[in-house]
Each structure stands twice: as structure tokens, then as C-alpha cells.
A and B are shown apart, each in its own frame.
Chain A
Amino acid sequence: METKVKTLPWRKAKPKSELKVKSSSKKKIWQNYELYLFLLPTIIYFIIFHYIPMYGILIAFQDYMPTQGVWGSPWVGFEHFIRFFNSYQFWNLLENTLELSFFQLLFGFPLPIIVALLLNQLRNQKYKKFVQTVIYAPHFISVVVLVGMVYVFFSPNGLINNFIMIFGGDPVYFMSEASWFKPLYISSGLWQETGWAAIIYLAALAGVSPEVHEAAIMDGASKMQRIRHVDIPAIMPTAMILLVLSVGNLMNIGFEKAYLMQTPLNVSAGEIIPTYVYKVGLQSAQYSFAAAVGLFNAIINFILLWAVNRAAKKLSGSGLW
């Protein structure tokens, strides 16, 4: 089976026809000056709103004063980092951030794959379309509305507690108990994004030629066997790239939701590094300290990305770079 899979038609790369313009590069640039004008606003945008802020990270090593600017402010080296590592919140923040990211990935990565594989096996095309339309929908709900729904459903007299009481249970104060923050965060995320995340896998599955399935049926393969030996190998490269990408954004994602879900009583479980940066940096205007914390977060993020890309390349041969 293994050797057969390698030569299946959908794995072959399509040859690309390159348009070769035979002229010196100088002439090429002059000929296409309009294309550079097309690009110009976007280049300016990236420089101003992405590259200048990258340069602005320097303030993490300074005592930034708005009147002095990035050049005039005094340098302090790693003082802000040391202060952050020694602060009483450091371990709690790190633990919350990593735990939330880890569980999000643990459930959020495999679930869309399972849903896509199951949807792909539905025989009734109309019903399949209908299910798809329904499960994509929550993706378009805004964070504010999603968190608002969590608040009303999980309030002491909300839908969930009414349900618990029907079965004779006692109402649970979900939003004011720290231990419920992470489960609610993860499960509401799954509710919102699973269907949408399945689309990409469905596209990959649609690319499998029907002949392969027919041949497998000829050989007496059951549906489970076809999922195992045809479908899963077909979506493996997509899955690997998505895994690497989602690890690459692990430390950044969901920060708005975490901020909105925080209440004074659950904040001990809900405070993550990005929300902390926002509070310290913008609410109490400690720009340099917050920039240092943000940089620390970015560095952890990069280490994770690098590690998972390496692992993905070793395991399956396909990585991001």
C-alpha cells in the first residue's frame, strides 16, 4: 500500500509554463513601471505599519519617553525583562498562555480533520451541503457576540444552568469560577471554528480522484479502510502545513476573546501574556515594559514554530521552509 500511494496521480506536481520575457532586467523594470506603481501603496503600508514597529521593538531595551522618541530615550539593557521574570505574575502568565494554546491545538487541530473525513463520506449530497452551510456559519460571528453568547448561556439562570437543574443538579457559576475559564474558552472556540477549518481538508479530499476509491472498493476495502489508506494520506501534506501555521500563531491567537471573557473572579486563570501586555502597556502606559513582555512572547512563539517545523519535516517531509 505504501509504495502504491507514492505514485498516485494527485501527488504529482503540475508542470508550470513560465513566461520568459527576453530582455535585460533594466528594460524589464522600465517596461513594467506601472506594476511598481501598483505595488507602491502596499509597500509603503508594510514599511509604516509593520517594519517601523519592528524597529520600534528597541524600546523594550530603553526607558521610552514619548517626548524623546526611540533615539533619545536612555538605554537600560535587559532591565525590563529581568523585572518581568522576577514579577510574581510571571509563572502564572506563562502557564496560562501555554496551557490555553496547548489545549486549543490538541482539540482544534484533529477535530476539523475528523469532521471533513466524515462529511466526505456522506452519500446524500444535498444533506452534505446543508450540514456544511450550518457548521460554517459561526465563523462569521464576531468575538464580542460570541463571548456575549457565552455570558448569557452560562449565566446562573442561563440556558446551561436551566438544563443542569432539569436533571436535578445545582447551578454552576461558570463565569466567576477560574477553573471554568479554559474549558469555556476552548469549547466555544471549537464551536465557532471547527466547521470553517474543515473546508480546507474537504478541498484536499475533493482532489482525490474517484478511480482510486473505486479501485479500493474493488479490492474489498471498507469505508473505514478507505479513510485510513486513501483519504488520510491525501490530506496529510495540508494537515502538516496547517499544523505548522497554527503553532506559528499559537501565542498570539484568541487574545481578544480571552480579554473579553475575563471577569474579576476568573482572571487568575484567564490572564495570558498578550492581555497582560495590553493592560500594562496601554492602560497604565508602561510602554517599554510592555514591549519587553511582548517581545518575550514573540520569542517563545518563534521557538515553537521552529521546533514544530523541524518535527514536521522529519516526520512527513513537508514543512513550511
Chain B
Amino acid sequence: MSNFVMNRTKFWARKSREDKIFDVLNLFLLSGLMLVVLYPLYFVVIASISNPDYVYNGEVWLYPKDITFEGYQRIFQDGRIWTGYKNTVIYTLVGTFVNVALTLMAAYALSRKDLAGRNFFMFMFLFTMFFSGGLIPTYLVVKNLGLVNTMWALILPKAVAVWNLIVAKTFFQSTIPDELLESAQMDGCSNTKFFWKIVLPLSKPIVAVMVLFYAVTHWNSFFDALIYLNDEELYPLQLVLRSILIQNEASASMLGDVESFAAQQRIADLIKYGVIIVAAVPLLILYPFIQKYFVKGAMIGSIKG
């Protein structure tokens, strides 16, 4: 056995010239790719704490210059950001709860081979991945239900995502053995009890994946809010970000005391960099820890496609 392993390592160690060139080139390419992805993010961080005049003149490249937290101070003075944050947190919590509850229950039912009509239901759901009424008819339905300008307009029309339903169903099918159900049924366990007491405790990874996928969608979504909400008090963070980042509307409370137009422009840019960081902070903090769950979710989805 050990002989075999040794042979094998020797065998891996013997590399042809061509393979060596390939390895070097590969390392070079991937490191380049990584820098291309990383640098813009890094630049936003350093630009958000540098003196805006240096950023404006292109003197900030690798590290922050003349560190200042003025941008963040101005951001946190602004009421809109806080309202947006509060709204987004509420929408994300309530929305994710509705999403996960519906998705897991439906996915479990669909994963049961003894559910009569499961193929019909599956087809009914999958069909909507390729055919939909489109923007206008959906808007009219939401409007007729009286949901416009309420939080529910952001939650109910997105209650279940077909893709996540497939991911969860695939997970249940591959992890809950049929024998488990049989023996539970033998003991007179009802379906609800089985789902609640046995299936869910065995399915913590998929619950985590679902929570994360849905929560990120809610956190990042802006278009539903754009079409369904008119009341500024209800605006989620992403809409506030849009007005600051894209429509260039840093509010009076942010720039009121700055005199010259040029200085206003530079501080507006400083605020933009800061706002990007503020919006991404929850995810940036969590990302390294939850990354593997996302990957797991994406992979479960790919097994069955």
C-alpha cells in the first residue's frame, strides 16, 4: 500500500515541460483575474476614507491618503439612509420568513413519491420559469389586490422562487431516506409531525441555504419597490442608494454646509464611496462565513438542473 502511494507521488512529481509552462501560465492568469475582481472593491474602501481632493486628482491608488471619515459622518447624519435601512431589514425578515416557509413545505410535499399529481404540480410551477404574464399584467394584479404602496407588494409577488423550490426538493429527495418515512408511518406518525420533528432537523443545511438565497434577494431588490411604492417613508435602502449613487441626489442635509460647487462635487463622490460600503457591510461581514452555504446551494441546484 505505502509502495503504491509512493509510486503515485513520484508519478505526480514528474512533470513535463509543457505542464510546467501550463502551471505557471495558469497561476498568472488566475491571479490576474482575482486582482481584476478584487481591486475595484478595494479601491472603493480606500477611496471612502481618503481626502476627496486626492481621489479626484488620481493620487489614490494603493492605500488611503490623508484619512478622513467625513463621508461616513455625512452619511450617518442623513435620515433617509436610516429609514431605508430600517425598511430593508423589515422587508428582508418578513419576506424571507414567508419565502422559506412556503418553499420548504411545498418542496417537501413535492419530494414525496407517493404524492398523487406531483408531476402535474411540478409542471405547473416549472412552466412559469419560461412563460409569464409580463410586467404590465402582473402590475395590474398587484394593483387590483390593493397591495400598491404597502410592504406586501414587495413580498407576496415574490413568495416562491421556482429555482429554490427545485433546489429544496432535490435536497429532500436525496437526504431523507424512504425507510425513515415508512418506519415513522408504522408508528402512526402523521405527515405534519414527520415534517416538523424529523425532516426539518435533518435539513438544517438546506434551511440555511434557502434563508441566505432569499434574504440576499430581498436585501438587493429595488425594482419592485420602484414600481409599487410611492411613499418615501416606505423606500428600501436600494432606492435610497439609487438616488444618491445614480441620480446624484445627495440630500441637502448631507451637503448643505459645503460652499463651492467643486467641493460639493468632490464630497458627493466621497459620500458615494462610503454609501457603497455602508450598503454592503452586512454582507461583507457575513460573506466569508456563509460563502460555503451559497456554494452548496448552487451545487445542489446543478445536480438536477
Contacts and interface: CB of A to CB of B under 8 A. Distances in A.
Interface of A: 17-19, 21, 25, 28-29, 32, 34-36, 38-39, 41-43, 45-46, 48-57, 59, 66, 115, 118-119, 121-123, 130-131, 133-138, 140-145, 147-149, 151-153, 155, 157, 159, 162-163, 165-166, 191, 195-196, 199-200, 203-204, 214, 217, 222-224, 238, 241-242, 245, 248, 256, 259-260, 274, 277-278, 281-282, 287, 290-291, 294-295, 297-298, 302, 305
Given A222-B19, A256-B222, A43 B137 contact: no
A294 B130 contact: no
Contact of B135 (A148, A274, A302): A274
A163 B280 CA distance: 26
Interface stretch (B69-77, B109-117, B203-211, B249-257): B109-117
Interface string B118-129: 000100110011
Contacts of A46: 124-125, 128, 160
22 contacts: A21-B114, A29-B116, A46-B124, A53-B137, A121-B23, A130-B34, A140-B216, A142-B221, A144-B238, A147-B245, A148-B242, A148-B272, A157-B56, A200-B301, A203-B298, A238-B305, A241-B305, A260-B242, A260-B246, A281-B139, A290-B135, A305-B130
Interface in B249-305: 269, 272-273, 275-276, 279-280, 283, 287-288, 291, 294-295, 298-299, 301-303, 305
Interface residues of B, number: 97
A155 B58 CA distance: 12
Interface in B131-173: 131-141, 145, 156-157, 159-160, 165
Contacts of B37: 134-135, 137-138, 191, 195
Contacts of B57: 162
B9 to A, nearest CB: 12
Contact of A50 (B113, B128, B145, B241): B128
Contacts of A245: 305
Contacts of A165: 58
A38 B36 contact: no
B178 A19 contact: yes
Given A42-B165, A59-B136, 12 more contacts: A21-B114, A42-B105, A42-B125, A49-B141, A122-B27, A145-B241, A148-B276, A159-B58, A224-B18, A278-B135, A281-B135, A282-B227
Given A25-B116, A35-B112, A38-B106, A153 B302 contact: no
Given A140-B216, A149-B276, A39 B105 contact: yes
A144 B57 CA distance: 26
Nearest to A47: B124
Contacts of A121: 22-23, 26
Which of A28, A52, A152, A155: most chain B Cβ within 10 A?
A: A152
B156 A223 contact: no
A295 B134 contact: yes
Nearest to B300: A203
A21 B131 CA distance: 34
Contacts, number: 269
A32 B191 contact: yes
B110 A39 contact: yes
A267 B133 CA distance: 26
A11 to B, nearest CB: 15
A53 B134 contact: yes
A252 to B, nearest CB: 9
Given A131-B34, A136-B294, A282-B139, A238 B302 contact: yes
Which of B114, B269, B288 is most buried by chain A, counting CB atoms within 10 A of its CB? B114
A318 to B, nearest CB: 10
A36 B106 CA distance: 9
Which residue among B138, B156, B181, B219 has the maximum number of chain A CB atoms within 10 Å of its CB?
B138
Nearest to B194: A34
B241 A140 contact: no
Nearest to B266: A157
Nearest to A41: B102
Contacts of B33: 115, 131, 135
Contacts of B112: 32, 35
- A-B pairs with the 9 shortest C-beta distances? A53-B133, A162-B58, A148-B245, A56-B137, A142-B220, A294-B134, A42-B106, A53-B137, A38-B105
A151 B137 contact: no
A45 B138 contact: no
A33 to B, nearest CB: 8
Contacts of B219: 142
Contacts of B36: 191
A35 B16 contact: no
A45 to B, nearest CB: 5
Interface in B57-107: 57-58, 102-103, 105-106
Given A49-B157, A49-B159, A204 B40 contact: no
B106 A53 contact: no
Contacts of B38: 134
Contacts of A295: 134
B137 A143 contact: no
A290 B241 CA distance: 28
Contact of A287 (B108, B136, B159, B287): B136
B131 A36 contact: no
A224 B22 contact: yes
Nearest to B223: A256
Nearest to B113: A19
